Amino acid sequence: MDHGNAAAAAAAANAAAAAARAKSAAIAVGAPLSPSQSTDFQVNGGGVVRLAPPLTREQQKADAEARAAWQARCRPTVVADRDGLRRTQYAAPDCDLSRFNTAGAQ
């Protein structure tokens, strides 16, 4: 005795398949999708990505100096481990942290 669960599962599978067919048909024809079919994720609307303004010469120079200082301190090298995976090793601690990921930095 399945208490109607088999029928409910079959109905749900049929409904999901019908919804997928309807969405595919709307995409193929170029028709607008219904809100439940929407595939467009938007934050702040319009799907526009706002880029950061370009760096000034001073900022570029400071960035290059910081990168050179990091290279001199950390001396990154790429080595293959015993499984053949390439890994980066550093000469100083905390070199694997970026300026955005400062977890553990003092």
State pTM to two decimals.
Answer: 0.45
Question: How does pLDDT run across 14-32, given as a tens digit for each residue?
Answer: 887 888 888 788 878 877 7
Asked if residue 50 belongs to a domain, the reply is no
Asked if residue 41 belongs to a domain, the reply is no
Cα 56 from Cα 42, distance rounded (Å): 31
Please compute Rg for the chain using Cα positions. 27
Asked if residue 104 belongs to a domain, the reply is no
Asked if residue 65 belongs to a domain, the reply is yes
Host domain of residue 12: 5-35
Contact 26, 37 (CB under 8 A): yes
Asked if residue 99 belongs to a domain, the reply is no
Question: How does pLDDT run across 33-73, given as a tens digit for each residue?
Answer: 777 666 555 555 566 667 788 899 999 999 999 889 989 99
Average pLDDT, integer, range 62-86: 91
**How many domains, the chain?**
2
